[in-house]
Amino acid sequence: MKKALIPILAVLGLAGAELRMAIASGTRLANAPRSTESISIGGEPVVTLVRSRSADKSKPQFLEAVVLPGEGMNLLQLKAFLPGKGDVQVLTTMPLPEAKKYLETDNDAFGNNSFKLGAAFLLPYPNRIRGTLSPDGKTIETTIAGKDWKLPANWAGKNPGAERHAMHGLILTSKFEDVKHHDGAEESSVSAILHGGNFGGFWMSDTDVTIRIVLKNDSADLYVTTKNVGKEDDPMAIGYHPYFDFPSGDRKQARLHLPAAMRAIVNNYDDVFPTGKVEPVKGTPYDFTAPDGAALRDLFMDDCFLDLKRASSGDALPIEVTDPAAKYGVRITPLSPRIEAIQVYAPPDKNFVAVEPQYNLADPYNTKIWGKRNTGMVLLKPGESTTWHVKLELFTPTH
């Protein structure tokens, strides 16, 4: 399969030496070079958004964002200044030379490494889709929006005989074009477009994808717009997969505030296939609804949360990841009304939590488990578009 047509995600059960290095190095990239446009990854120059340092050292501040137009616009690095801590990486990542090798040389045929660091954008289906495996083991046959379809069989759990399935969409290693980069006094931004066609025959209509990232001293806005430029209906869901690092290195005391009332139950944490059952979080270890959230402790999570609490405007209320030991917090606000689900991935032995606002539930077209439930997929008619928007903000926790 062509590199630009295969993207996909996995549940970071990462065990390789390079991955362990990536996770271990997540907070030690403050000395990375500021100018990276001369480095190409995925056949396109790396773009670095740069902010001027504020004279006020009492407030946290975003400093740099490193974006990979040649790898699906992956937000590979996001550097910030923290009072009392100095420069840190907000995302679990790796230095550019190692990232280049990891994403170009060491990537598998499906490009799965592309979602294992930084913050990869996912579409047209974040999360898992099940189906019948082809004899060669490369594709699955499934049903999408009422039509029989084939998708890449790019992922499986680690247990012997684990079922192969499709995961995390079709753009992760795609090469975006018409890159526009600007560093200004008020904000820095980058935008680019992907004329994705039907993603190498794996999707039903032709899709254009525009991604724009706007970095300010106190916020980062992420926009993904997809437009159906074909003649058929275009099923669509959008999400992303950021690994938020804990600067203190102490995952147990890190806290999560997630204003969601329900959790989708999965068969096990190896397959992570939804059962169609949804349960309240209240009174369970998965209740993070308190104003100051709850500590992650030793809890393993690879769970989808839904029934998001919303403001009177209809916007979902912010999610907060805090590292009290580092006096650090990042606020994640889903600003698209179609964002209905938050996937959280947090293995106890790793120094991160992945908080993934997305449109959809996993395996969204599996009517055997979901019945007639609205699973969050959007059906774009020819000419129609949809936009996913999430804002990140830094703050100093008061508790």
Residue 145 banded pLDDT, cuts 50, 70, 90: very high
Domains identified in the chain and CATH numbers: 3-392 (2.70.98.10)
Q: What pLDDT is recorded for position 144? A: 97
Does 31 score more than 80 pLDDT?
no
What is the CB neighbour count within 10 angstroms for residue 85?
16
Helix (H) or strand (E) holding 19: helix 17-24
Region 174-191 average pLDDT: 97
Q: How far is CA 54 from the centre of its chain?
A: 29
> What does the pLDDT look like over 233-254, one tens digit per residue?
999 999 999 999 999 999 999 9
In this structure, the dihedral spanned by the alpha carbons of residues 254, 259, 262 and 265, taken in order and rounded to 10 degrees, is -30
Does 370 score more than 80 pLDDT?
yes
Does 155 score more than 60 pLDDT?
yes
Does 34 score more than 70 pLDDT?
no
Question: Exposed (0-12), middle (13-18) or buried (19+): which is 253, by Cβ within 10 Å?
Answer: middle
Residue 349 banded pLDDT, cuts 50, 70, 90: very high
> What does the pLDDT look like over 263-310, one tens digit per residue?
999 999 999 999 999 999 999 999 999 999 999 999 999 999 999 999
- The fraction of the chain above a pLDDT of 70, given in percent, is 90
| Six token digits for residue 34 | 């500021």
Does 88 score more than 50 pLDDT?
yes
Within 13 Å of residue 32, how many CA atoms lie on the same side as its CB?
30
Question: Exposed (0-12), middle (13-18) or buried (19+): which is 371, by Cβ within 10 Å?
Answer: exposed
Residue with tokens 């990486």: 89
Rounded Cα gap, residues 124 and 239, in angstroms: 9
Helix (H) or strand (E) holding 150: strand 147-152
CB-CB contact of 236 with 123 (8 Å): yes
Q: Computed from CA positions of residues 227, 208, 343, 159, in that sequence, does the dihedral angle turn out positive or negative? A: positive
Ranges 61-65, 105-109, 238-242: which has the least confidence: 105-109
The string of DSSP codes covering 230-257 is SSS-EEE--EEEEEEE-TTS-GGG-EEE
CB-CB contact of 75 with 213 (8 Å): yes
Q: What pLDDT is recorded for position 36? A: 52
The strand pairing partners of 257, in sequence order, are 320
> What does the pLDDT look like over 2-22, one tens digit per residue?
444 433 333 333 333 333 334
Does 153 score more than 80 pLDDT?
yes
CB-CB contact of 125 with 237 (8 Å): yes
Q: What pLDDT is recorded for position 37? A: 55
Q: What pLDDT is recorded for position 312? A: 80
Residue 311 banded pLDDT, cuts 50, 70, 90: confident
Q: What are phi and psi of 115, to 5 degrees?
A: -105, 10
CB-CB contact of 338 with 106 (8 Å): no
Rounded Cα gap, residues 252 and 29, in angstroms: 23
Residue 315 banded pLDDT, cuts 50, 70, 90: confident
Q: What are phi and psi of 289, to 5 degrees?
A: -85, -15
Q: Which of 66, 91, 392 is nearest to 222 (CA)?
A: 392
Question: Exposed (0-12), middle (13-18) or buried (19+): which is 354, by Cβ within 10 Å?
Answer: buried
| Six token digits for residue 331 | 């606020």
Region 77-96 average pLDDT: 96
CB-CB contact of 167 with 156 (8 Å): no
Tell me which DSSP letter residue 259 carries: -
Q: What pLDDT is recorded for position 318? A: 97
